[in-house]
Amino acid sequence: VLGDLRDAVARTSEALAAPADSAAWRRQVEGWRQRFRLRYERGTPGLKGPQVLEHLAAAVVDHET
Amino acid sequence: MPSQTSSGAVIGADPKSSKAVRRPGADTILRALEAAGAEVCFGIPGGAVLPLYDALARGTTLRHVLACHEQGAGHMAEGYARATGRPGVVFATSGPGATNLVTPIANAQMDSTPLVCITGQVSSAVIGSQAFQECDIVGVTGPLVKGSRLVRDPAELAGTIAEAYRLAVSGRPGPVLVDVPRDVQEALVLDHSQAGHAAYPDEPAAPDDARASGEAVRAVAAAIEASNRPVLYVGGAAVAAEARAEVEHLATVGGLPIVTTLMAKGVVPESHPLNLGCPGMHGGKWANWTRRPGRPC
């Protein structure tokens, strides 16, 4: 497809008669994501970067940016 | 005798016309950039671009941002370009000044960032003699730029700069380099001279119609409908085209998981349930497995 991207993407959405039959596929991908999600070892001495960010995010979750 | 004004213009220098105005080539470069729409430039003075910096001092609408190193100037110009959508303009002197631009030029090529790099070159008479701070920067940057030219004819300066500015943003944006020997910067040029420019033969041809054909769009839609393991792989062009909403809508109505290149990161929120993030060495296994054979079932 050669042409203006924004226009082409919008027209592709309009041209779709039906969504892809992707429910099973999306469940499979979500299963991978849950199984291999990024994690870190907790309970060890010291602070870890992700741990700090999680706490900061939780502390400001109700604040407007 | 011609007389020189405070802006560097020389009046009455053209024997064919008493009203003709000639300016140093360096002033012509600035006028061409101004005419193209440039408002800001980044760089550092050096021996081979002193005429250009003298021209800046004589007067310009361009705001010059002084960097501490040409590489920094190049990256600043990249940031400016990405923030504004306009080409980032950067000046550097010959030799080491020019080679210090190689990293931002390469980066701009990878990231499709429009840059107009104007480098000073040793005087025409000594090019090829391994003169002080001489480097074939056109040759060095050849594989990295959309176009690069060594301007030998002062009459081609204005057109070459204008074309470089246009080329940087046309099609897939990227870096363009114009190398200007010091004597060409100092040569007096007719102010109205647009006498052609050095061609950029490597410029890709622009499509005749900027709108995708209906047939092509329908073919993509049909492929999506027929797919049972679709993935919408989004690149930086979606950001450049400001197509965030359109991409998110297509993913939603098409039932399409999204993976993004690094340049498209954030095109839809990372928290969007269909956004799987970036594949590649920094991405999750789930994002990589959507694109690879041999993935687990």
Nearest CA distance, B42 vs chain A (angstrom): 31
Are A1 and B227 an interchain contact pair (Cβ–Cβ within 8 Å)?
no
What pLDDT is stored for residue B12 in this prediction? 40
- The three-state DSSP-derived secondary structure of chain B is CCEECCCCCEECCCCCCCCCEEEEHHHHHHHHHHHHCCCEEEECCCHHHHHHHHHHHHCCCCEEEECCCHHHHHHHHHHHHHHHCCCEEEEECCCHHHHCCHHHHHHHHHHCCCEEEEEEECCHHHCCCCCCCCCCHHHHCCCCCCEEEECCCHHHHHHHHHHHHHHHHCCCCCEEEEEEEHHHHHCEEECCCCCCCCCCCCCCCCCCCCCCCHHHHHHHHHHHHHCCCCCEEECCHHHHCCCHHHHHHHHHHHCCCEEECHHHCCCCCCCCCCECCCCCCCCCHHHHHCCCCCCCC
Are B243 and A38 an interchain contact pair (Cβ–Cβ within 8 Å)?
no
Strand partners, B24: B188
d(CA B223, CA B229): 11
End-to-end CA distance of chain A: 39
- State which residue of chain A sits closest to B254, comparing Cα positions: A19
Q: Supply the Cα-derived Rg of chain B in whole angstroms.
A: 23
- The band of B13, judged by pLDDT with boundaries at 50, 70 and 90, is very low
In this complex, is the C-beta atom of A38 within 8 Å of any C-beta atom belonging to chain B?
yes
What pLDDT is stored for residue B15 in this prediction? 43
Higher pLDDT, B291 or B159: B159
What pLDDT is stored for residue B294 in this prediction? 59
Higher pLDDT, B105 or B19: B105
- Which among A2, A21, A38 has CB closest to B228? A21
> In this predicted structure, which of A47-51, B23-27, B29-33 has the lowest mean pLDDT?
A47-51
Are B217 and A24 an interchain contact pair (Cβ–Cβ within 8 Å)?
no
- Which among A12, A17, A38 has CB closest to B220? A12
Higher pLDDT, B208 or A34: A34
d(CA B33, CA B163): 10
Q: What is the mean pLDDT of chain B?
A: 89
A 10 A CB-CB count for B258 gives: 24
- The band of B11, judged by pLDDT with boundaries at 50, 70 and 90, is very low
Nearest CA distance, A30 vs chain B (angstrom): 8
Nearest CA distance, A37 vs chain B (angstrom): 7
Residue B229 in tokens: 């393991």
- Range among B75-84, B202-211, B264-273 with highest mean pLDDT value: B75-84
Interface of chain B against chain A, CB under 8 Å? 207, 209-214, 216-218, 220-221, 224-230, 237-238, 241-243, 246-247, 249-250, 253-257, 274, 276, 284-286, 289-290, 296-297
Mean pLDDT calculated for residue range B206-228? 85
B296, burial (CB in 10 Å: exposed 0-12, middle 13-18, buried 19+): exposed
pTM of the model: 0.81
Are A3 and B284 an interchain contact pair (Cβ–Cβ within 8 Å)?
no
Nearest CA distance, A52 vs chain B (angstrom): 19
Write out chain A residues lying below 8 Å of B209, CB-based: 3
Residue with tokens 């002033």: B27
Residue B140 in tokens: 């060095």
Residues 6+ apart with CB under 8 A from B6: B58, B59
Are B225 and A20 an interchain contact pair (Cβ–Cβ within 8 Å)?
yes
What pLDDT is stored for residue B206 in this prediction? 53
User: B230 and A20 in contact (C-beta within 8 Å)?
Assistant: yes
What pLDDT is stored for residue B17 in this prediction? 53
What pLDDT is stored for residue B3 in this prediction? 46
Nearest alpha-carbon partner for A2 in B209, B82, B238, B271 = B209
User: B178 and B118 in contact (C-beta within 8 Å)?
Assistant: yes
> In this predicted structure, which of A1-10, B13-22, B73-82, B283-292 has the lowest mean pLDDT?
B13-22
- State which residue of chain B sits closest to A23, comparing Cα positions: B255
Are A22 and B210 an interchain contact pair (Cβ–Cβ within 8 Å)?
no
- The three-state DSSP-derived secondary structure of A3-64 is CCHHHHHHHHHHHCCCCCCCHHHHHHHHHHHHHCCCCCCCCCCCCCHHHHHHHHHHHCCCCC
Write out chain A residues lying below 8 Å of B275, CB-based: none
- Which among B241, B256, B296 has CB closest to A6? B241
d(CA B161, CA B275): 42
What pLDDT is stored for residue B1 in this prediction? 42
Residue B194 has pLDDT above 90, yes or no: no
- The band of B19, judged by pLDDT with boundaries at 50, 70 and 90, is low
Mean pLDDT calculated for residue range B259-286? 92
What pLDDT is stored for residue B293 in this prediction? 60
Mean pLDDT calculated for residue range B259-273? 92
Strand partners, B176: B116, B147
